[in-house]
């Protein structure tokens, strides 16, 4: 038996006025997801435990079979693991966004999706001026970077920037342990970056500047049980997102890189699907993560998210299903990690729909289709997210 977990990040949604009160899944042309639901088992899962922040870090840890209430320490160390950053035991790691601000409000959590080359130049300057022997800034991709801080503050509230777009900076500044150091660092970065030639050019071109750093998601590296030891199979993870790579590496899944997999709407859907089929020739478990649907949710634009859902269904899931005929018997679990509703443009902790399908349509049950309302009314109610891996591997 082969096992597949497919995660269209943030695909779940709420009824939207942009779609005449319907959700993206109710509108999108998604025949493959609907066919799986009609011949499989559906339900809804709570991937975000009550009281925890509704991020992909918490949700993906849950989906991969680990209760976040027991194991979660923060997003930063997961991204560091995904990037292969060496850490000491006392290192605290923050995800560190480059954001756009007018000095009063947070305008864009992604700094206009600044290119990696420009971003690296800005982060190298930040590290030179604000880093030290105990605090280092590590450039990443586009707006996504890291801050590694030896014995840095952990018990401090740092709000994810995508949750507070348009809000006043002063109202969202860090609060808690050593908050003064963090606040000063943010304002110092603004003074350093706002008049930088890169940002002057971006403003002149009517692009969002990348003129402040925004650290969040801090924590120390978690210790997680090994996936092969726990389930008795070797596995592969396919993703373009650092935090998912990091989670995979921490549980001893091999990470397979796919050319053209970007984490955005232009990702190589077909390449991911083919890589998954190829991996199943040598491994028994494959997890495929697609970020494009989440990015579309953050945009707040219904047409983008519907397109992302349709391309995921046709170009990734459809190609994957076509290739699975050659691998023998398999079980396939498809679910978003969390919801990213169009009307709020950020993550929420709503239960998400899932479908479990077994080759030959032997999963039993069956539903009219794959939408939030159908899965809630015709499927298994409120499964705990961290229990789904056991359902996939043992059902």
Closest CA relative to residue 215, chosen from 151, 152, 146: 146
Please check whether residues 151 and 243 belong to one and the same domain: no
C-alpha–C-alpha distance, residues 46 and 171, integer Å = 30
Which residues sit opposite 355 in a β-bridge? 42, 334
- At 16 the pLDDT is 98
Count of domains observed in the chain: 2
User: Is the pLDDT confidence value at 361 over 90?
Assistant: no
- 161 found inside a domain: yes
Q: Is residue 373 located within the same domain as residue 235?
A: yes
State the Cα angle at 302 between 296 and 304, rounded to 5°: 45
Let me know whether 98 and 200 are in one domain. yes
Nearest to 177 by CA among 158, 146, 156: 156
SS3 (DSSP) at 286: strand
CB-facing half-sphere around the CA of 333: CA atoms within 13 A: 26
pLDDT band at 263 (very low <50, low <70, confident <90, very high): confident
Say if CB 314 and CB 325 are below 8 A apart.
no
* Residue 133 and residue 55 share a domain: no
Provide mean pLDDT across the span 141-168.
95
Q: Give the pLDDT confidence score for residue 151 in this predicted structure.
A: 96
- Whether 262 is covered by a domain: the verdict is yes
In a domain, 78, yes or no: no
The CATH number assigned to the domain holding 360 equals 3.40.720.10
Three-class SS state of 132:
strand
Question: Cα–Cα distance between 349 and 55 in angstroms, integer?
Answer: 8
What is the average pLDDT across 325-331?
93
Same structural domain, 141 and 155: yes
Alpha helix (H) ranges present in 251-301? 269-279, 292-299
Quick check: is 63 in a domain? yes
pLDDT at 77 over 90: yes
What average pLDDT is seen over the chain?
95
> Within this chain, do residues 110 and 50 fall inside the same structural domain, yes or no?
no
At residue 265, φ and ψ (nearest 5 deg) are -65, -20
Look at residue 364 in the predicted model and tell me its pLDDT.
66
pLDDT computed for residue 363 by the predictor = 65
Q: Are residues 299 and 179 in the same domain?
A: no
Q: What is the average per-residue pLDDT within 10-23?
A: 98
3-class DSSP state of 337: coil
pLDDT at residue 45 in the model: 97
146, 249: one domain: no
Number of DSSP helices (H) and strands (E) in the chain, helices first: 16, 15
Question: Model's pTM, two decimal places?
Answer: 0.89
Q: What is the pLDDT of residue 82?
A: 93
Structural domain containing residue 164: 83-219
The proportion of the chain whose per-residue pLDDT surpasses 90, expressed as a percent, equals 94
What's the pLDDT at 204?
A: 97
Residues 162 and 243 in one domain: no
Q: Is residue 173 one of the residues assigned to a domain?
A: yes
C-alpha–C-alpha distance, residues 334 and 324, integer Å: 15
- Side-chain-side CA neighbours of 300 within 13 Å: the count stands at 8
390, pLDDT greater than 90: yes
CA-based R_g, the chain, Å:
21
Residue 365: pLDDT above 80?
A: no
Same domain, 296 and 210: no
CB 297 within 8 A of CB 341: yes
Nearest C-alpha neighbor of 210 from the set 301, 66, 361, 101: 101
Is the confidence at residue 264, as pLDDT, over 80? yes
Is residue 77 in a domain?
no
**CA dist., res. 262 & res. 89, Å (int):** 31
* Average pLDDT estimate for 104-111: 96
Tell me what pLDDT residue 381 has.
87
Final residue before a domain boundary, out of 186, 219, 252 = 219
* 186 and 137 Cβ atoms separated by less than 8 Å: no
Same domain for 301 and 258? yes
Q: What is the DSSP string of 34-91?
A: HHHHHHSEEEEEE-S-TTS---HHHHHHHHTT--HHHH---HHHHHHHHHT----TTE
Do 258 and 147 have their domain in common?
A: no
Please give the backbone phi and psi of residue 319, each rounded to the nearest 5 degrees, phi first. Answer: -65, -40
DSSP string, 364-389: ----S-SSHHHHHHHSEEEEEGGGHH
For position 236, what pLDDT does the model report? 98
105 backbone dihedrals φ, ψ, rounded to 5°: -125, 155
Final residue of a structural domain among 203, 219, 235: 219
Where a domain ends, among 219, 246, 267?
A: 219
Which distant-in-sequence residues (6+ apart) come within 8 Å of 106 by Cβ? 99, 100, 161, 164, 165, 166, 167, 169, 172, 214
């Amino acid at each position: 038996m082969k096992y597949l977990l497919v995660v269209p990040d943030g695909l779940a949604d709420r009824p939207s006025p942009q779609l005449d009160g319907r959700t993206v899944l109710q509108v999108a042309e998604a025949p493959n997801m609907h066919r799986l639901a009609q011949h499989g088992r559906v339900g809804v899962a709570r991937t975000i435990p009550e009281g925890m922040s509704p991020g992909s870090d918490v949700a993906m840890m849950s989906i991969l079979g680990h209760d976040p209430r027991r194991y979660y320490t923060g997003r930063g160390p997961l991204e560091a693991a995904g990037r292969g950053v060496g850490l000491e035991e006392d290192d605290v790691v923050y995800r560190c966004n480059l954001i756009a601000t007018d000095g009063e409000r947070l305008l864009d959590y992604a700094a206009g999706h600044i290119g990696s080359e420009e971003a690296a130049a800005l982060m190298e300057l930040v590290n030179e001026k604000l880093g030290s022997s105990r605090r280092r800034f590590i450039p990443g991709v586009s707006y996504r970077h890291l801050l590694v801080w030896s014995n840095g503050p952990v018990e401090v509230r740092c709000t994810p920037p995508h949750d507070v777009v348009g809000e006043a900076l002063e109202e969202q500044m860090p609060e808690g342990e050593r908050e003064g150091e963090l606040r000063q660092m943010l304002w110092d970065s603004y003074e350093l970056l706002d008049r930088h030639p890169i940002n002057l050019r971006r403003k002149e071109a009517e692009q969002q500047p990348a003129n402040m750093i925004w650290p969040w998601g801090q924590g120390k590296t978690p210790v997680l049980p090994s996936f092969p030891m726990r389930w008795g199979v070797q596995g592969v993870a396919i993703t373009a997102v650092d935090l998912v790579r990091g989670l995979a590496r921490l549980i001893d899944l091999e990470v397979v890189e796919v050319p053209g997999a970007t984490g955005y709407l232009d990702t190589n859907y077909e390449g991911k699907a083919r890589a998954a089929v190829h991996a199943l020739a040598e491994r028994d478990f494959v997890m495929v993560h697609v970020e494009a649907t989440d990015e579309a949710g953050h945009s707040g634009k219904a047409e983008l998210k519907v397109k992302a859902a349709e391309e995921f269904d046709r170009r990734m899931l459809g190609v994957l299903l076509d290739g699975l005929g050659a691998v023998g018997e398999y079980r396939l679990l498809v679910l978003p990690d969390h919801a990213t509703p169009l009307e709020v443009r950020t993550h929420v902790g709503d239960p998400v729909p899932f479908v479990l399908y077994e080759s030959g349509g032997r999963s039993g049950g069956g539903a009219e289709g794959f939408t939030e309302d159908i899965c809630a009314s015709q499927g298994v109610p409120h499964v705990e997210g961290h229990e789904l891996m056991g359902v996939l591997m043992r059902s």
